């Protein structure tokens, strides 16, 4: 009990004028609500900051995925007819993929991962796709005999990997830390 | 003892007053969260509509053959906060092929902290 409160409740005032009964001082709870709120408010605020940063993180992840998909789709519309394998015969491949990947709301902050777009030949083997060679070393003869089906032509797949550096607004306070987000998309060209 | 002195000394009802003060701050935060959520949902909606319209333009679907039809197609796929009567979506045959962009001026009001004008923008390109 503070001196002030003792003074208020005990010494100077006529008991009839006191509004706080001395016997109730033990149960005195003035100030509790404010203190409780002061304790909760920072937790609440940090929760809000996390909410905002996680929303932005999820948003960025979706955009990075979309960016990879659009890159792969650009490869298909630019290079699918008569210019395969695209890595050697389609001069505009990298430019088209990069332009499309950087045309989302994240803009040019999205970058194409090094070595991408990559091009691989796949064949269906049972229920899975089996790699049968890359664009620079295609299967010879050009069929799916490696996957057990010599009568099938291998599929020409382009793969796009993109990366984006995410930075939280409330660095240090939010659990959504600075990180590199990656997106991946595969598109068949033939 | 005067009423003024009583008012200063008396502690009866102080919890209620403190609750009132805390409640204002608490509700301020709550409405701030609501306003922020409305902003995020509008942002997501703008992006979705732009992506859908860009895709529609890329495949040259019926109803997406001219710039104005693509813009109204985007507007039809927008489900965010009401607009001021103008179409925020703009189509251009640029970028990777078919670019749809949108901007929306949102006023983020956080009670007791302030009003922040935020320009929401979305870009989508499909080919």
Share of chain A above pLDDT 90, in %: 33
B18·A105 Cβ contact <8 A? no
- pLDDT for the residue A1: 46
Buried b (16+ CB within 10 A) or exposed e, B103-127: ebebebeeeeeeeeeeebebbbbbb
pLDDT (average), residues A85-90:
84
Task: Among B16, B46, B97, pick the best mutation site for testing chain A contact (most A Cβ within 10 A).
Answer: B97
User: B9 vs A8: CB contact, 8 Å cut-off?
Assistant: yes
Strands B98-110 and B89-92: antiparallel
pTM of the predicted model as reported, rounded to 2 decimal places: 0.76
Instruction: Note if the bond before B12 is cis, omega within 30 degrees.
Output: no
Mean pLDDT of A172-177: 87
pLDDT along chain B (127 residues), means of 10: 74 80 85 88 93 91 89 92 89 89 91 88 91
Closest approach of chain A CAs to the CA of B34, in angstroms?
11
**β-strand A128-134 against A118-125: which pairing, if any?**
antiparallel
Q: Touching check for A169 and chain B: CB below 8 Å? A: no
What confidence category does residue A11 fall into, taking pLDDT thresholds of 50, 70 and 90? very low
pLDDT attached to residue A26: 53
Q: What are the residue boundaries of the structural domains of chain A, listed by start?
A: 31-188
**What are B3's two structure tokens?**
């009423």
Q: In chain A, what residues touch B35 (CB-CB under 8 Å)?
A: none
Find all residues with CB under 8 Å of A134, minimum gap 6, and list them: A118, A119, A120, A121
Written as one string, the DSSP assignment of B31-71 is: HHHHHHHHHHHHHHHHHHHHHHHHHHHHTT-TT-SSHHHHH
Gap from A148 CA to chain B (nearest CA, Å): 36
3-state DSSP assignment of residue B7: helix
Supply the mean pLDDT for chain A: 83
**Residue A168 banded pLDDT, cuts 50, 70, 90:** very high
Give the pLDDT confidence of A126-136 residue by residue, as tens digits: 888 888 888 88
């Amino acid at each position: 009990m503070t001196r002030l409160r003792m003074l208020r409740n005990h010494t100077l005032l006529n008991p009839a004028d006191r509004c706080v009964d001395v016997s109730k001082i033990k149960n005195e709870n003035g100030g509790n609500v404010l203190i409780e709120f002061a304790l909760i408010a920072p937790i609440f605020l940090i929760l809000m900051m996390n909410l905002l940063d996680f929303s932005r993180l999820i948003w960025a992840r979706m955009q990075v995925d979309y960016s990879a998909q659009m890159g792969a789709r650009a490869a298909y519309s630019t290079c699918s007819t008569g210019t395969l394998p695209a890595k050697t015969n389609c001069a505009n491949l990298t430019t088209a993929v990069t332009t499309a990947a950087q045309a989302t709301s994240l803009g040019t902050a999205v970058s194409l991962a090094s070595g991408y777009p990559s091009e691989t030949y796949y064949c269906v083997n049972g229920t899975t796709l089996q790699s049968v060679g890359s664009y620079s070393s295609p299967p010879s003869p050009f069929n799916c005999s490696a996957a057990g089906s010599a009568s099938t032509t291998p599929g020409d797949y382009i793969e796009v990997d993109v990366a984006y550096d995410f930075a939280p607004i409330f660095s240090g306070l939010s659990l959504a830390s600075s990180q590199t987000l990656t997106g991946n998309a595969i598109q068949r060209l033939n | 003892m005067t009423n003024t002195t009583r008012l200063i000394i008396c502690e009866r009802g102080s919890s209620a007053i403190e609750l009132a003060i805390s409640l204002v701050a608490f509700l301020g935060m709550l409405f701030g969260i609501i306003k922020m959520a409305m902003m995020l949902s509008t942002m997501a909606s703008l992006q979705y509509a732009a992506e859908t319209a860009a895709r529609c333009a890329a495949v040259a679907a019926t109803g997406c053959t001219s710039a104005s039809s693509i813009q109204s197609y985007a507007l039809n796929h927008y489900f965010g906060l009401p607009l001021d009567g103008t179409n925020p979506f703009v189509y251009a045959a640029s970028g990777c092929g078919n670019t749809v962009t949108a901007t929306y001026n949102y006023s983020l009001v956080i009670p007791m902290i302030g009003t922040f004008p935020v320009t929401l923008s979305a870009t989508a390109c499909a080919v």
